[in-house]
Amino acid sequence: MTDTKLSPQAHAILREHATERPFSSPLNDEKRAGEFRCAGCGTTVYRSDTKYNSGSGWPSFWAAEDGAVATTTDRSHGMVRTEVHCATCEGHLGHIFPDGPRPTGLRHCINGAALEFVAKD
């Protein structure tokens, strides 16, 4: 998918590192089986069986698809966080925190507007 097809919000998040308001994404409540793909390029980055309700207000996952995401250190806003981005198009997805469930103990806190959900047939 090219940037011309991104919504203004998805463009701001994926390309300018913006963050959506908590509890604003319909994907936060998505419970069907399927894949969560990067809205910037269509790469499958998360699967529904790794999604859980963290209570944070953003779609949360305990693991990404192998090789689908990469991380960098984010020192913005006066703190140090682990930024997660699409390994294919480098679009900003969100952040990873060390307070998630087993088996990884990680919480991938992802902007819903940076994702597209494709339900399993």
Q: Reply yes or no on whether 109 is catalytic.
A: yes
Q: Which residues contact 1 (CB under 8 A, 6 or more apart)?
A: 39, 40, 41, 42
Report d(CA 83, CA 105) in Å as an integer: 16
The token pair that represents 113 in the structure block: 């507007």
Residue among 38, 41, 89, 109 flagged as catalytic: 109
Show which residues are catalytic. 109
